[in-house]
């Protein structure tokens, strides 16, 4: 009996310890999911739904799963601080449109640019020498040299990167310039009037231009364009503008037949215009010449190609008419021809 009691006590102790361990694991998992904390060893954070976004910030890497719509929103949700001069690629307003999205962050560093007796201090994330000079407000001409030199006063200034410009008497300047994109509208007969929709985003182009610089008293007073090269052509911004005409209530029945015959919403207005000019949308409309039906086919028996019920079915007649107007290029072209000639 004593042995049995000891076994029973030991068994109970094991069960109690197991329950404690299980509760601790469940509690830990629950807390982790609730707070969306990640595995510190992998720097991966987990939330519900959304997309995976990986940040490369200098030597640091961070992956999150976020519902952020843009790069800026993703950075803010990840509590990443962006300072003046830092570069984020892609840009902050870029939409996060992939299940695995990557964002690079280049941190600005202090830089000194020396141009003769002129010294400029700035914060920049760029390593392109011409870009750095431009950010410092210094123009670099063709033939000038920009050299990276060690900073002898590093301890005093705290700046390790120093760039010196050597002038070689150049008086031409080659720069990359933006080409603004144009904007054009396209009428959409399937869209209600008063509505519009961007069908294509505009993209800025780029050209490389070379100028001769004219100086007076060592001050630039004018530039003469010598040559230019288109590096990337701009892309127009296209906006669709609603041009759909309202259909009179008395035309709705005919419009329904036309839709059943396969006439698109974009062509519907032109199709009804032509139909009512020809026959008033009457299935049995007859002409002394022998023309018959909604399309005034001559002879009417031509419409048998669209169906055996061509004499009485308005949908069959309009379906045949759709094929007939293709010789003009479509419904709009057919009604244009009708207005010019009085027949089609």
User: pLDDT of 77-125, one tens digit each?
Assistant: 999 999 989 999 999 999 998 889 999 999 999 999 998 888 999 999 9
Same structural domain, 180 and 214: yes
Q: Cα 270 to chain center, whole Å? A: 34
Same structural domain, 189 and 260: no
The burial class, CB within 10 Å (0-12 / 13-18 / 19+), for 271 is buried
135 Cβ neighbours under 8 A, 6+ residues apart: 122, 124, 126
Contact 196, 239 (CB under 8 A): yes
Residue 1 lies in a domain: no
Same structural domain, 250 and 230: no
When the pLDDT of each residue in the chain is averaged and rounded to a whole number, the result is: 83
β-bridge mates for residue 235, sequence order = 203
Q: Describe the crossing of helices 265-278 and 331-341 by its angle, rounded to 10 degrees.
A: 30
pTM attached to this predicted model:
0.44
| CATH number of domain containing 228 | 2.20.230.10
Residue 8 lies in a domain: no
**Is the confidence at residue 41, as pLDDT, over 80?**
no
Contact 130, 140 (CB under 8 A): yes
Q: How close are the terminal C-alpha atoms of the chain, in Å?
A: 112
Same structural domain, 276 and 312: yes
Domain boundary among 82, 104, 126: 104
State how far the Cα of 330 lies from the Cα of 314, in Å rounded to an integer: 19
DSSP 168: -
DSSP reduced 3-state for 68: coil
Same structural domain, 94 and 166: no
Number of separate domains in the chain: 4
**Of 329 and 39, the one with more pLDDT:** 329
338 Cβ neighbours under 8 A, 6+ residues apart: 274, 277, 278, 344
Give me the sign of the Cα torsion angle 298, 302, 303, 304: positive
Residue 250 lies in a domain: yes
DSSP 299: S
Domain boundary among 242, 274, 296: 242
Residue 74 lies in a domain: yes
Domain boundary among 199, 226, 242: 242
pLDDT in tens, 129-141: 999 999 999 988 8
pLDDT in tens, 304-315: 999 999 999 999
pLDDT in tens, 151-196: 776 655 667 789 999 888 778 889 999 999 999 998 877 777 888 8
Q: Averaging pLDDT over each range in 5-14, 123-132, 193-202, 315-324, which range is the top one?
A: 315-324
| CATH number of domain containing 166 | 3.10.20
Same structural domain, 270 and 337: yes
Residue 234 lies in a domain: yes
What is the span of the domain harbouring residue 139?
Answer: 109-170
Same structural domain, 90 and 30: yes
Same structural domain, 261 and 279: yes
Same structural domain, 155 and 204: no
Same structural domain, 254 and 336: yes
Residue 253 lies in a domain: yes
Same structural domain, 284 and 306: yes
**Is the confidence at residue 42, as pLDDT, over 50?**
no
Residue 270 lies in a domain: yes
pLDDT in tens, 46-73: 444 579 999 999 889 999 999 999 999 9
- pLDDT confidence of 36, banded at 50, 70, 90? very low
DSSP sequence for 266-295: HHHHHHHHHHHHHTTT-TT-B-TTS-BTTT
Same structural domain, 224 and 309: no
**Of 303 and 151, the one with more pLDDT:** 303
Residue 32 lies in a domain: yes
Q: What is the mean pLDDT of residues 13-25?
A: 44
pLDDT at 13: 44
- β pairing state of 237-244 and 183-192: parallel
């Amino acid at each position: 009996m004593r042995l049995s009691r000891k076994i029973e006590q030991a068994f109970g102790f094991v069960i109690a310890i197991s329950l404690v361990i299980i509760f601790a694991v469940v509690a830990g998992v629950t807390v982790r999911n609730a707070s969306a904390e990640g595995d510190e060893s992998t720097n991966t954070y987990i939330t519900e739904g959304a997309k995976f976004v990986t940040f490369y910030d200098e030597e640091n890497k961070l992956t999150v799963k976020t519902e952020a719509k843009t790069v800026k929103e993703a950075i803010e949700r990840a509590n990443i601080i962006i300072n003046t001069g830092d570069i984020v690629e892609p840009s902050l307003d870029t939409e996060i449109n992939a299940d695995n999205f990557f964002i690079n962050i280049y941190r600005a560093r202090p830089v000194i640019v020396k141009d003769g007796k002129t010294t400029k201090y700035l914060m920049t994330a760029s390593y392109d020498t011409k870009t750095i000079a431009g950010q410092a407000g210094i123009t670099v001409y063709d033939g000038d040299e920009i050299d990276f030199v060690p900073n002898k006063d590093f301890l005093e200034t705290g700046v390790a990167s120093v760039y010196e410009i050597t002038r070689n008497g150049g008086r031409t300047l080659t720069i990359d310039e933006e080409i603004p994109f144009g904007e054009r509208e396209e009428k959409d007969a399937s869209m209600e009037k008063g509505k519009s929709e961007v069908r294509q985003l505009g993209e800025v182009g780029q050209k490389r231009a070379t100028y001769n610089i004219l100086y007076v008293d060592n001050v630039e007073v004018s530039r003469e364009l010598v040559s230019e090269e288109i590096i990337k052509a701009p892309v127009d911004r296209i906006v669709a503008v609603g041009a759909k005409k309202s259909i009179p209530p008395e035309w709705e029945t005919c419009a329904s037949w036309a839709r059943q015959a396969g006439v698109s919403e974009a062509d519907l207005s032109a199709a009804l215009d032509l139909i009512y000019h020809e026959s008033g949308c009457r299935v049995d409309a007859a002409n002394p010449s022998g023309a018959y039906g909604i399309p005034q086919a001559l002879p009417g028996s031509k419409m048998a190609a669209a169906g055996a019920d061509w004499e009485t079915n308005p949908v069959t007649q309009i379906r045949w008419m759709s094929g007939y107007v293709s010789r003009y290029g479509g419904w709009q072209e057919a009604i244009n021809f009708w207005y010019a000639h009085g027949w089609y």
